[in-house]
Amino acid sequence: MNNKNRRANKTASDADLYKVSKSSIKEFIKKERRHDELDRLREVQSQARVWRRVVLFCGLLNLLLISLAVWGL
């Protein structure tokens, strides 16, 4: 795919990129050559990583609080 075709094709929206897997985002990054699009893809990748960490932390915190409630502390 040459640069003219790449620019004529629309890029995937952020909402669509959040739904794809981690490996798919890495493939998008390998294919992409424009710096502005690379920055956007890396930002999506970073935000997805932060989201997973926050969800994991909140889940563990909820488990801790539920276990303390069950034990009566």
Q: What is the CB-side half-sphere exposure of residue 53 using CA atoms within 13 A?
A: 6
Total domains in the fold of the chain: 1
Give pLDDT tens digits for 27-67. Answer: 766 776 666 677 777 888 888 889 999 999 999 999 999 99
φ and ψ at 69, to 5 degrees? -65, -40
Q: How far apart are the C-alpha atoms of 52 and 63, rounded to whole Å?
A: 17
Q: What is the pLDDT of residue 59?
A: 97
Mean pLDDT of 12-41: 68
Which has the higher per-residue pLDDT, 62 or 9? 62
Nearest partner of 42 among 25, 56, 59, 18, judged by Cα: 25
Query: What is the CA angle 59-52-42, rounded to 5?
Result: 165
Structural domain of 54: 3-71
pTM of the complete model: 0.53
The per-residue pLDDT for 53 is 96
